[in-house]
């Protein structure tokens, strides 16, 4: 047994080491996961600002790419009324448009006093109007009052006029305008301003080129529209598609620097495009704010790691349980072999002694012959009973036998078993009672007899000499017959009750020191299960035990 215990302790130590390694791995996995997630959140803090920029500038892009080019639909024929409607719509839809300057422009080969003239090609404003929110339009210039165009307005107009004139000078009128030509010619983008000229038709471009490069009589006056939109980036609506990352988002001048040196503070920025280029989106968060997102992402990962850890713990538990079961089974088998050896050795020794006595005696009297014959017969019966019990138990476990049911008169059956036992043990007080309505019971008499014999043997063996008493009660409960075996023996602890029907299990007490294989109650349990019944036990130490067997009464008469 010492070797077995040592072996078991070594395995237990391995399990403990395994658990420690798994636990350390769990902690390391958590730390690595947390570190990676923290780094991922910090990277997202730096990279997700592009998503915010796209959301914030989306109205600006819509205005720039879709709304402004609509001016070309008017083909230069915007007047004060139609341009006012167009600009009012822009003011309504785009809060960042703060002011619009409208240049009602004329193109010809006439002499002009305000504008730009290249060779014979002349382009200049006829009327300049200013539109602001919630105020009436203001006329800033008319060609009827020459030389009154301010330098600021003239400068903005001349930027687009020079780009347009340069394009006309080298334009290929056989080709369609490319997107690059449109952007480079008809847009003038400076910080906080977008100036746009409507795109003339191809025929008009050919005429404008002739006006510039050829000697021609005075031409007709052609209309072009030029609008300058003043953009206020601070009026852009800030949308935050990543509130889990950015605690605060604001629009700041491009040169803005945060003066807060708090180490708990993290910030980043991204410049705005186009006419918004003098400003940037500024993002800031406290580390404690980002920690919430880190923890939110970490919890599912930590839970998955914990599931894996639990799975490994389950494996460790199963290994431990199997080792524990194997250890107990080893002990039970060891005890079984010892007890079985003792059970066989005792009758074999007696038989051998009796045989030696018979062989060594020159002459035996009739009394001695009868005495030795009785000894040999009894010991042979013991060996035979033990062999039969082992064989029957194996057959019952393997379901290799069949029930041989007969109609049993329970009163006669019980009385015969009691009588036979009291002949063997006259000091054993056995009584029984049976319900009057129970006469016959259909079952296998051999198996039922084995159950009775084992339970009576058990009651006799585990009862003190002065309390060797057993009462058997037989009752009908619904469709079942109940057999109660109540003794006044030593009883059992409650902790023992769940083990007593296990193979090779023996209660350690002074009453089984003479050898017990540990098969009796396990054999009873198997027999009753085989007969489709149930067996239960209740017991109190020092008071006795009660075994209750319930067997189906479907064949009772």
- What's the pLDDT tens digit per position in 22-75? 999 999 999 999 999 999 999 999 999 999 999 999 999 999 999 999 999 998
What's the pLDDT tens digit per position in 332-354? 666 667 666 766 766 777 788 87
Average the pLDDT over each of 90-99, 134-143, 375-384 and give the range with the smallest value.
Answer: 375-384
Evaluate whether residue 169 is within a structural domain: yes
As a whole number, mean pLDDT of residues 162-189 equals 91
Name, of 284-293, 342-351, 414-423, 521-530, the range with top average pLDDT: 284-293
Evaluate whether residue 355 is within a structural domain: no
What CATH number is given to the structural domain containing 413? 3.30.565.10
Predicted TM-score (pTM) of the model is 0.61
pLDDT at 319 over 50: yes
pLDDT band for position 5 (cuts 50, 70, 90) = very low
Strands (E), 83-240: 97-108, 116-118, 121-132, 138-142, 187-190, 193-197, 222-231
Residue 348 CB partners (closer than 8 Å, separation 6+):
379, 383
Evaluate whether residue 196 is within a structural domain: yes
User: Number of folded domains in the chain?
Assistant: 2
Torsion angle of C-alpha atoms 199, 203, 208, 209, degrees rounded to 10: 110
pLDDT band for position 17 (cuts 50, 70, 90) = confident
CA 143 to each of CA 123, 139, 140, 277: distance values in angstroms, whole numbers, following the listed order: 12, 11, 11, 34
Evaluate whether residue 132 is within a structural domain: yes
Of 184, 204, 235, the domain-final residue: 235
Evaluate whether residue 167 is within a structural domain: yes
Task: Supply 545's token pair.
Answer: 């035990």
In 3D, which of 186, 289, 174 has the Cα closest to residue 240? 289
Of 207, 235, 263, the domain-final residue: 235
In the chain, % of residues over pLDDT 70: 90
Q: Quick one: pLDDT at residue 557?
A: 40
pLDDT at 410 over 70: yes
CA 229/CA 87 separation, integer angstroms: 10
CA 235/CA 253 separation, integer angstroms: 13
Of 235, 257, 291, the domain-final residue: 235
In 3D, which of 250, 193, 226, 165 has the Cα closest to residue 64? 193
Evaluate whether residue 337 is within a structural domain: no
- Check if the beta carbon of residue 131 is closer than 8 Å to that of residue 87: yes
pLDDT at 92 over 80: yes
Spatial strand order of the sheet with 279-286 comes to 248-253, 279-286, 265-271
Q: Quick one: pLDDT at residue 396?
A: 67
Residue 458 CB partners (closer than 8 Å, separation 6+):
520, 521
The per-residue pLDDT of the chain, averaged, comes to: 86
- The range of the structural domain enclosing residue 459 comes to 402-552
- Which helix (H) or strand (E) element contains residue 378? helix 366-397
Could you tell me if residue 178 is left (phi over 0), alpha (psi between -120 and 50 degrees) or otherwise beta? beta
Evaluate whether residue 406 is within a structural domain: yes
Task: Supply 389's token pair.
Answer: 């019990």
Q: Quick one: pLDDT at residue 8?
A: 45
CA 402/CA 390 separation, integer angstroms: 17
pLDDT band for position 527 (cuts 50, 70, 90) = confident
- Check if the beta carbon of residue 527 is closer than 8 Å to that of residue 521: no
CA 17/CA 472 separation, integer angstroms: 54
CA 252 to each of CA 58, 232, 235: distance values in angstroms, whole numbers, following the listed order: 18, 12, 12
pLDDT at 499 over 50: yes
198: helix, strand or coil: coil
Q: Quick one: pLDDT at residue 365?
A: 78
Evaluate whether residue 70 is within a structural domain: yes
Q: Quick one: pLDDT at residue 538?
A: 92
């Amino acid at each position: 047994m010492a070797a077995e215990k040592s072996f078991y302790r070594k395995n237990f130590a391995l399990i403990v080491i395994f658990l420690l390694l798994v636990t350390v791995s769990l902690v390391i996995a958590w730390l690595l996961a947390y570190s990676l997630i923290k780094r991922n959140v910090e990277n997202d803090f730096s990279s997700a600002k592009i998503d915010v920029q796209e959301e914030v500038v989306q109205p600006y892009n819509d205005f720039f790419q879709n709304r402004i080019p609509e001016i070309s639909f008017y083909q230069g024929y915007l007047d004060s009324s139609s341009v006012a409607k167009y600009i009012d719509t822009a003011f309504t839809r785009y809060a960042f448009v703060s002011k619009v300057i409208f240049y009602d422009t004329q193109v010809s080969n006439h002499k002009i006093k305000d504008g730009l003239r290249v060779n014979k090609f002349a382009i200049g404003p006829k009327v300049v109007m200013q539109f602001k929110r919630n105020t009436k339009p203001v006329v800033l210039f008319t060609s009827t009052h020459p030389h009154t165009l301010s330098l600021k307005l003239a400068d903005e107009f001349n930027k687009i006029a020079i780009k347009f004139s340069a394009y006309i000078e080298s334009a290929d009128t056989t080709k369609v305008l490319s997107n690059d030509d449109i952007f480079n010619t008809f847009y003038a983008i400076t910080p906080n301003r977008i100036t746009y000229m409507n795109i003339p038709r191809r025929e008009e471009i050919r005429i404008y080129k002739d006006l510039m490069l050829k000697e021609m009589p005075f031409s007709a006056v052609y209309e072009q529209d030029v609008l300058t939109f003043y953009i206020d980036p601070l009026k852009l609506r800030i949308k935050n598609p990543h509130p889990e990352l950015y605690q605060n988002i604001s629009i700041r001048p491009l040169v803005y620097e945060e003066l807060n040196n708090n180490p708990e503070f993290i910030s980043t920025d991204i410049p705005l495009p186009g006419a918004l280029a003098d400003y940037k989106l500024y993002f800031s968060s406290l580390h404690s704010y980002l920690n919430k997102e880190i923890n939110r992402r970490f919890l599912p990962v930590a839970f998955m790691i914990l599931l894996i850890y639990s799975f490994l713990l389950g494996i460790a538990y199963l290994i431990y349980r199997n080792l524990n079961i194997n250890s107990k089974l080893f002990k039970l088998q060891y005890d079984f072999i010892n007890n079985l050896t003792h059970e066989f050795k005792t009758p074999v020794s007696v038989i051998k002694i009796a045989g030696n006595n018979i062989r060594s005696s020159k002459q035996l009297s009739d009394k001695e012959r009868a005495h030795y014959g009785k000894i040999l017969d009894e010991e042979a019966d013991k060996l035979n009973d033990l062999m039969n019990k082992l064989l029957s138990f194996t057959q019952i476990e393997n379901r290799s036998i069949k029930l041989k049911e007969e109609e049993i008169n329970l009163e006669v059956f019980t009385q015969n078993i009691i009588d036979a036992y009291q002949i063997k043990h006259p000091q054993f007080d056995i009584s029984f009672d049976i319900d009057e309505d129970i006469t016959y019971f259909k079952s296998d008499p051999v198996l039922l007899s084995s159950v009775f014999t084992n339970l009576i043997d058990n009651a006799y063996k585990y009862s003190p000499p002065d309390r060797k008493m057993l009462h058997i009660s037989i009752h009908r409960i619904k469709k079942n017959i109940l057999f109660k075996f109540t003794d006044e023996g030593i009883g059992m602890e409650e902790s023992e009750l769940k083990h007593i029907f296990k193979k090779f299990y023996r209660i350690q007490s002074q009453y089984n020191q003479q050898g017990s294989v540990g098969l009796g109650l396990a054999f009873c349990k198997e027999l009753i299960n085989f007969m489709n019944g149930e067996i239960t036990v209740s017991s109190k130490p020092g008071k006795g035990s009660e075994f209750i067997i319930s067997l189906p009464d479907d064949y009772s008469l």
